[in-house]
Structure 1
Amino acid sequence: MTAPRAVLAGVFTAVLATVFTAVPAAVGAAPAHAAGYRYWSFWERDGDRWTYATQGPGTLRPEDGDVLGFRFAVSEDSAEADKPRGTGDFEEICGGAEAGEGGKRIALSVDFGTRADAPGGEEPPRGRTECARVPGDGTAADALAAVLKPLRYNSDSLLCAIAGYPRTGCGEQVSDPAAKTADASGGSAAPEDTAASEDGGPSAGLVGGGAVVAVLAAAAVWQARRRRS
C-alpha cells in the first residue's frame, strides 16, 4: 500500500497548496476600501496652523485669546482629517471684545464641510466664526454652547451636531472616504456591501470554504485507506 499512500499524500499536499494560493487571490480580487467616519473633528490654532486637538471639547480648557476650530467631514483618522478652512485669526474673530471680570474670550472657527461630506438630504451651512465669552474655568464645549446652539451629543459624549447640523447621524461609518462624491441631494455615496466581489461573483469566504471542504474530503479518504491497510 506504499504507492497508493504516496499518491494520496501527493493529492492532499496539492489540495492544500490550492487553498493557500487561491484564497489570498480571491481576497485580493475584492475591492479594497478603507473605512472612514463622518464626524466633527476638533482643532487648536498653533501660530499660523491648525493642529488636531489631543483632548475633547468637554475636557479642554482653553485660555483667553485661544482659537479653536471644528470641521465636519468624512475621514479615516486624525492624520487624514480635513482641517477647518479659513485663517482663524483671533483679532478678526473677537475684535475689541472684552473678556469681562473672571472671564475669557475664545475664538471659534466652524467649518460645516462640503456637500460631498454631508449626510443624504442635508445641505451644509456656510462656515461661521464666533467669539465666545465664558467663565475662566470654561471648556471648549462651554464656548460652543455659548454661541452655536443647538448642540447634539450621543450617549458616549461624542459631539454630533453644531448649530443643529447635521440633523441626524453621529460618527457613522462610510465605506470609502476617498470617493466622497456628492449626489443630487448633497449626500455622499452609500456604504458599499462588501459581502460579494465587485463582479457579483462569490465572496472570498465561499471560495475558501469550498477549498477547505475539498481538503477535508481528501484527508478522510486517506485516513480510511490507512485503516484498511
Structure 2
Amino acid sequence: MRRRRPSLAALAPALGTALTLGMALAVLAAGPALASSYRYWSFWDGGSGGGTWSYATTGPSLARPADGSVQGFRFAVSRDAGAEAARPRAAADFAAICGATPAAEGTKRVALVIDFGVPADAPAGEGPPQEGPRTACAQVAPQATAAEALASVAKPLRYNGAALLCAIAGYPQQGCGEPISSPQDTARAQTPDPRAAPAPSPAGPDSGTGPSVGLLAGIAAVAALAAAGVWQSRRRAR
C-alpha cells in the first residue's frame, strides 16, 4: 500500500509549536541582564601613596590604615565590585594631599580622595555636589578606622542596616547600592562621560559584531523542534 505523505496542514501544529518555543528561547538567551549594574560608593586602597588604586578587601569600618596611607571613595554605577568598579579620578598621592599637614604625636594622617562621580551615575533628581574629586587630610587617632577618618572630614555619612556605606557628605540623599533594573536607568547609567577613561571593548562571541549567542540558540532550537515535529507527524501518518 502506498504511504500517504503528511500534508502541510498536518505539520502546521508541530511547526508552530517549534517556532514559538524557539523564539522564546532566543529572547531569554539574548535578553540583557538589566539588573547586573549597581549604584554605590566603592572603597579603594591607595597604599602609601604610590599613585595607583586597588579595590579594598575590607570595608571602611574594618580597615585601619597606617599613618601615611591613602584611601579612596568613588560613587558610580558599576557592573560589579573589584576590577569593573570605577576608580577615583585623582591620584593616590599622600604628599599632595597631606604634605601641608604636619605630623602630631598621638595621631596619624590619612589622605582621602572622595569622588562624587559624574551626573550620568547620579540617582534621579540628584547630581554630584561638586564636579571633580575632593581631597582631604584626616588627622585621627592611631587606631582609627577608614570610616572614622572619613567621618572627620566628610559628614554626614549614611549607612544602611547591613553597615553598607550609602552616602558621603549627604550624597546621595536616598538609595543604597540599588540595582539598575529599568532600561531607562541602564541607558542613562551607560551614557559616556567625556572626562572618563574609555571602557574596555567587550570580548567573546557575543560582542555585538555578529549574531548573538541567544539568537543562534533560538535558531538551533527552532530547527531541532521542527525536525522532531515532522518525524512525529510522519510516524502517525504511516
Separation of aligned partners in 2, 1:39 and 1:113? 10
Secondary structure of 1:107's counterpart equals strand
**Partner of residue 73 from structure 1, selected from 56, 63, 76:** 76
* Structure 1 unaligned spans of 5+: 1-9, 183-229
Instruction: Normalising by structure 2, report the TM-score.
Output: 0.65
Question: More deviation in 37-46 or 55-64?
Answer: 37-46
Matched, 1:37 2:35: no
User: 2:41–2:76: 8 Å Cα contact kept in structure 1?
Assistant: yes
Larger strand proportion of the pair: 1
Cα distance change of structure 1 residues 94 and 26 upon mapping to structure 2, 3 Å threshold: closer
Q: CA deviation at 1:30?
A: 4.0
| 1:173 shift after superposition | 1.1
| Partner SS for 1:91 | helix
1:58 Cα deviation (Å)?
0.3
Separation in structure 2 between the aligned mates of residue 115 and residue 173 of structure 1, nearest angstrom: 17
| Residue 172 of structure 1, CA deviation | 1.1
Secondary structure (helix, strand or coil) at the match of 2:119 reads coil
Q: 1:134 aligns with which of 140, 151, 165?
A: 140
- The alignment partner of 2:54 has SS state of strand
Q: How many residues get paired?
A: 181
> Which residue of structure 2 lines up, in the alignment, with residue 123 of structure 1?
127
For residues 204-223 of structure 1, what are the structure 2 equivalents within 5 Å?
A: none
CA–CA separation in structure 2 for the residues paired with 1:108 and 1:114: 19
Amino acid at match of 1:77: D
Stretches of structure 2 lacking an aligned partner (at least 5 in a row): 1-10, 192-238
Q: Check whether the contact 1:75–1:177 (CA below 8 A) recurs between aligned residues.
A: no
Of 77, 84, 90, the match for 1:86: 90
- Asked whether 1:62 is paired with 2:65, we answer yes
Q: Which residue of 2 aligns with 1:111?
A: 115
Q: Look up the match of 1:24.
A: 25
Q: In structure 2, the residue corresponding to 1:49 is in which secondary structure?
A: coil
- The percent identity for this pair of structures is 55
Taking structure 1 as reference, are residues 179 and 164 closer, same or farther at Cα in structure 2, changes over 3 Å only? closer
Secondary structure in 2 aligned to 1:92?
helix
SS at match of 1:93: helix
User: Tell me, what secondary structure is at the counterpart of 1:164?
Assistant: coil
Q: Displacement, 1:26?
A: 3.3
In structure 2, C-alpha distance between the alignment counterparts of 1:65 and 1:178, rounded to whole Å = 40
Change in Cα spacing, 1:105 to 1:177, as seen in structure 2 (3 Å) is farther
Q: After superposition, where does 1:39-54 map in structure 2 within 5 Å?
A: 39-46=40-47, 47-54=50-57
Structure 2 contact 65–146 (Cα < 8 Å) conserved: yes
Task: Give me the whole-angstrom Cα distance separating, in 2, the residues matched to 1:119 and 1:11.
Answer: 50
Distance 2:35 2:166 in 1: 22
Alpha-carbon separation, structure 2, partners of 1:41 and 1:177? 19
The Cα offsets for residues 126-182 of structure 1, whole Å up to 9 and x where unpaired, read as 221000011111100010111111100011100011111111111111136575267
Could you say if the C-alpha distance between residues 61 and 32 of structure 1 is closer, same or farther in structure 2, counting changes exceeding 3 Å? closer
Secondary structure class of the residue paired with 1:129? strand
Q: Is the 8 A contact 2:121 2:188 kept in 1?
A: no
**2:177 alignment partner in structure 1:** 171
Q: What is the aligned counterpart of 1:156 among 162, 185, 202?
A: 162
User: Contact 2:35–2:179 (CA<8 Å) still a contact in 1?
Assistant: no
**How far apart, in 2, do the equivalents of 1:129 and 1:70 lie?**
10
What SS does the aligned partner of 1:136 have?
A: coil
| Contact 1:38/1:174, CA 8 A, preserved across alignment | yes
